[in-house]
Structures are given as C-alpha cells and as structure tokens.
Amino acid sequence: MKKIYKVLLIVIVIAAVITGFYVRSLANVKTYDTKTISQELSDALQNWIVTNYSRYYKNIGVSMTPEGKVAIKNGVASEVFNTKINLTLKAESVEDLPFIKGMLNYFNSKKATATKAQIKAAEKLIKDWESEQKGYIGKPEPPANTTFKITAVVGKDGSIKKDSVKLYIEEPSKSGPGDAFYPVPPSIFGSPEKEEKLGEEAIKEVMNP
C-alpha cells in the first residue's frame, strides 16, 4: 500500500512539474494584434512614399492593397503591399526642373566661347529633354504601380519600432528568373543641387566629348 502511495505521489509531482512548465511556456508565447501591426506597416510605407515624392511632386495619392497577411517571425513583422501612386510635378515649366536648369546654366555660361558644333550638340540635348518632360508639366502622371515589402521590429508594447522599418521593392531578379525584393534607400530622389549638377555633367559630355 505504501509503495502504491509513493508511486502515486511521484506521478503527481511529475504531473505538477510538467503542468507548471507548460503554463510558463504559454505565458512566454507572445500574441500580436496583427490588424494593428498591419495598419502601422501600411502607415509607415505611405509616410515614406509621400515624404520622398513630395520633394518634386504634389497632389500625391497613395492606395495600397495587402498581398496576403502580415507575418511575424522572431519579433519581426513583414508584409507585402501592392501600391498605386498618383502624382503631379510641382514644376510649372520644364526650365524649373533641376536637371534641365543645370543643363541650361552650364550651356549659357559656356555659349559665348563654344564652337558651332558644341552649341548644336548642347541645344539638341536640351531640346530632347524639354520635349520629353514637357508633357508632364501641370498634368497628373500615369499611376505608378509598385510592389513593396516592409519589415519592422515589434516592440514589447505590440507596436512596431519606427526606427527599425526597412523597405524593399519588387523588381525582376538579378540572379535568376522571376521577381525578387531589393532594399530601398532612405531617399529615392537626389537633392535639387545634386540634380542640377547631373544636368551640368550631361551638357559637359556633349560639349566636350
């Protein structure tokens, strides 16, 4: 009888230990509000798009459709969004575009001492650029359809850490068939000063081949 009692006691103790471990394990399993996290990722992506494009564009409209559901692994949330971006150039004339402004500034500064061949080459390049950009001035551009993946670390409070956000853009794979996601830089547009410098360099190439 005593042996049976001891066996039962051991079984009870083992069961208690296992139950306690199981309860602690459940307590350590994090549950996430995926709907809230998805909205936070969507907001972060929209904010990035508007912030970047607003340097040169106005009337920016962004619509996003999740491709699947938000995934959370090892405390990092990720989601893919198909985006449609509508926008209009801020510039009121082609001469206001930094790249073309840079070309014109350099050309006008060198025109007096340039040869006829140099002037002809420069004027052709400027005309080609102005013709290409003229149709976009004052008119909404065709919608840009792009697929982004956004990731972020989820904090202890269940919200994403904004300083951990990373963006990737879907493009044809560089190493194989199909598409792949590639990192997106914090800023996709250069400063007006940098764009003007690029315009100057473009004119220099044709005037001094």
**pLDDT tens-digit profile of 173-198?**
887 777 899 999 878 888 999 999 99
Q: Alpha helices of 54-185 — where are they, by DSSP H?
A: 98-110, 116-134
pLDDT of res. 31: 80
| Dist CA 171 CA 97 (whole Å) | 27
Question: 147 with 197, same domain?
Answer: yes
Question: 125 with 184, same domain?
Answer: yes
Domain span at residue 10 reads: 1-30
Read off the DSSP letter of residue 138: T
Kindly tell me if the per-residue pLDDT of 11 is higher than 80: no
Enumerate the β-bridge partners of residue 85: 62, 144
Cα–Cα separations (whole angstroms), residue 122 to 11, 93, 135, 202:
92, 19, 21, 9
Question: 90 with 25, same domain?
Answer: no
Question: 14 with 58, same domain?
Answer: no
Q: Please write the tens of the pLDDT for every residue from 105-157.
A: 999 999 999 999 999 999 999 999 999 999 899 899 999 999 999 999 999 99
| Dist CA 163 CA 152 (whole Å) | 8
Question: 122 with 76, same domain?
Answer: yes
Q: What mean pLDDT comes out for the span 34-47? A: 95
Question: 74 with 159, same domain?
Answer: yes
pLDDT of res. 8: 42
Question: 192 with 100, same domain?
Answer: yes
Read off the DSSP letter of residue 170: E
Tell me how many degrees the CA angle 186-187-189 measures, rounded to the nearest 5.
Answer: 165
Tell me, yes or no, if the pTM score tops 0.85.
no
The total number of structural domains that make up the chain = 2
pLDDT of res. 189: 87
Question: 93 with 161, same domain?
Answer: yes
Tokens for 121? 């080459």
Question: 38 with 23, same domain?
Answer: no
